[in-house]
């Protein structure tokens, strides 16, 4: 019997922790698998995915910059992938690729269960309107946020994400230039790739409410600048995306193998080794 093959597809992708995470999950549960990386530029995504399927690929994780594009190649989308308009998990079926998005549930699980945050009633800000932001926004709303303000340098992308979310009572799209007048958020989530070099984003003072929580969806060097800003702003919690990465991977593993791994040991291993050089899956 052949060993099922999985991969993470992105650009760049050599840094990815996903092979290490899924290998650890498989070892934990006694499930044999192969998990590799596929570097594909945006114009190569479809052909790279087709080649992977032809070689026996069973499932794939999708990371930057392909999450929105991956949704368009699927024969079927889960409800959460459809709401997000972005896919981070692909499962090969007889009918073709089935797409799911586990980013949102992974983030909420990390924030609530690992870090003990109560998201209910929080006045929140989401910085970014791309595939990463779209992947987590529906789950954040489902977790009970009071309001979700979305800012991005492209007003069109901000408006498009807000329209897709559909909750006009709680979702408030704004342009980046509006940031200075919005302040006092209980929760600020940074979901752009602009800080890959670790530089602090240019954010106004007063954006974070006293003892508020700040979250960067990146990890390692990519999250340093934002988290430094958060601590300097008096954040009660400054959280990177490593826990979200492990939790969304566990949800993908469940979709592929029908078994949920324990994430605590894998998260501790990655945190101890500090093996997280850049953002992405």
Catalytic residues: 67
CA distances from 175 to 7, 87, 164, 189, 214 (A): 36, 25, 17, 16, 20
The CA distances from residue 1 to 32, 33, 91, 168, in Å, are 11, 12, 19, 51
* Residue 268: exposure state from Cβ atoms within 10 A (0-12, 13-18, ≥19): exposed
Report the DSSP beta bridge partners of residue 61. 8, 89
* Interatomic CA distance for residues 129 and 144, integer angstroms: 20
- Measured between alpha carbons, how far is 23 from 15 in angstroms, rounded to an integer? 15
Q: Pick the closest to residue 200 from 177, 173, 232 (CA basis).
A: 232
């Amino acid at each position: 019997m052949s060993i099922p093959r999985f991969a993470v597809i992105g650009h760049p992708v050599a840094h990815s922790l996903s092979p290490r995470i899924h290998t650890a999950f498989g070892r934990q549960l006694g499930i044999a698998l192969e998990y590799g990386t596929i570097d594909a530029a945006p114009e190569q995504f479809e052909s790279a995915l087709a080649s992977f399927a032809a070689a026996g690929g069973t499932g794939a994780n999708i990371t930057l910059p392909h999450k929105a594009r991956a949704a368009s190649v699927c024969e079927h989308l889960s409800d959460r992938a459809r709401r997000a308009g972005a896919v981070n998990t692909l499962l090969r079926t007889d009918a073709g690729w089935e797409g799911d998005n586990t980013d949102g549930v992974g983030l909420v699980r990390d924030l609530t269960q690992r870090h003990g945050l109560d998201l209910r009633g929080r006045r929140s800000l989401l910085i970014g309107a791309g595939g990463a932001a779209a992947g987590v926004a529906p789950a954040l709303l489902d977790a009970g946020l009071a309001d979700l303000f979305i800012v991005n340098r492209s007003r069109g992308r901000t408006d498009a994400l807000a329209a897709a979310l559909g909750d006009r009572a709680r979702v408030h799209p704004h342009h980046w230039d509006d940031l200075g007048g919005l302040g006092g958020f209980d929760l600020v989530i940074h979901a752009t790739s602009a800080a890959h070099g670790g530089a602090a984003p240019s954010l106004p003072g007063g954006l974070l409410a006293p003892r508020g929580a700040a979250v960067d969806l990146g990890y390692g060097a990519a999250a340093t600048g934002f988290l430094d800003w958060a601590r300097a702003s008096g954040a009660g919690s400054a959280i990177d995306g490593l826990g979200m990465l492990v939790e969304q991977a566990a949800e993908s593993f469940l979709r592929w193998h029908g078994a949920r791994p324990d994430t605590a040991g894998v998260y501790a291993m990655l945190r101890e080794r500090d093996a997280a050089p850049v953002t992405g899956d």
